Amino acid sequence: MKLIDTHAHLQFKAYDADRDEVAKRNSKELEAVINVGASLDTSKGAVTLAGRFDNFYAAVGIHPHHVDQWNNKTFSDLETLAKKKGVVAIGEIGLDAHQYNDYPSPDLSAQVKILHQQIEIAQKLNLPVIFHCRDAYDELYQYIKQRQGKISGVVHCFMGTWEQAEKFLDTGFYISFTGNLTYKNNGALREIAKSVLEDRILTETDAPYLPPEPYRGTRNEPVYVKMVASALAEIKNWSLQKTIDITAQNAKDLFKIL
């Protein structure tokens, strides 16, 4: 088995100049790549890529940053999109209480509202979710606990504490690690990775963001998931092939990729 990048954004602007070339290379090198939407437009872009390249799949969803895009039409458009071929998850959706430079102050109650409606789509279509969460793990967990019905999925690019990770794991969620697992000052994150059981761990790049250590400052791409796997292999004391097999099988199980 080869590696799976469970979270990339090859439909984003960063690849406008050479998207096909990057997509072809990555499709050949990896077992699968899931391109994840953040808005209606980038969700459509992810579905288009899934239709054009072997081993490419899509997740569709509205990121908490784009809460202002949400209206009844977005809701029905997203549901239509979620039924397209190659869609394996609803995401990235979630809660983000972090104050970013170019964004207005986060409005968590508005974020919860669109999260709620998107989880409804996931439950209706029996799809897992890809959670984006920053500075709001406790709030997200509270939300899941109160929610009726089954929700399965992954907390992507995990950056919380072990106590928070444990709660999501106990609820049946997977935890996914990006290139930031390789950063020198992320010892605490490596400790968390050490404790996550092998049947709950996933690898991703979040490309074009968060390139692993040797590529910091450059554009990330799905094949660099290899560096995330190497870091994990070292942390877990597994061989690289064992790490690849475990994480790829987990991704196949969660996203029902054959």
Do the Cβ atoms of 15 and 22 come closer than 8 Å? yes
> Which amino acid is present at 237?
N
* Rounded distance between C-alpha atoms, residue 182 and residue 17, angstroms: 28
Nearest residue to 118 via CA among 240, 198, 36, 207: 36
Nearer of residues 46 and 231 to Zn ion, judged by Cβ = 46
Please provide residue 57's backbone torsions phi and psi, each rounded to the nearest 5 degrees: -125, 170
Per-residue mark of binding to Zn ion, 152-191 (x: CB under 5 A): ----------------------------------------
Binding-site size, Zn ion (CB under 5 A): 3
Binding segment for Zn ion (CB under 5 A), chosen from 45-53, 71-79, 130-138, 224-232, is 130-138
What angle do the packed helices 108-125 and 72-82 form, to 10 degrees? Answer: 30
Nearest residue to 250 via CA among 16, 68, 4, 26: 4
Q: Give me the least distance between CB of 130 and Zn ion, in Å please.
A: 8
Nearer of residues 131 and 233 to Zn ion, judged by Cβ = 131
7 is in an annotated binding site: yes
Q: Does 66 bind Zn ion (CB under 5 A)?
A: no
List, in sequence order, every residue forming a beta bridge with 132; answer none if it has no partner: 94
Nearer of residues 92 and 221 to Zn ion, judged by Cβ = 92
Nearest residue to 178 via CA among 141, 207, 218: 207
Q: Give me the least distance between CB of 9 and Zn ion, in Å please.
A: 6
Q: Any idea of the CA torsion for 39, 43, 44, 45, to the nearest 10 degrees? A: 100
Binding segment for Zn ion (CB under 5 A), chosen from 21-29, 80-88, 122-130, 206-214, is 206-214
Nearer of residues 66 and 233 to Zn ion, judged by Cβ = 66
Per-residue mark of binding to Zn ion, 72-111 (x: CB under 5 A): --------------------x-------------------
Among 5, 96, 204, 206, binds Zn ion (CB under 5 A): 206
Write out the residues near Zn ion by the rule CB under 5 A.
Answer: 92, 132, 206
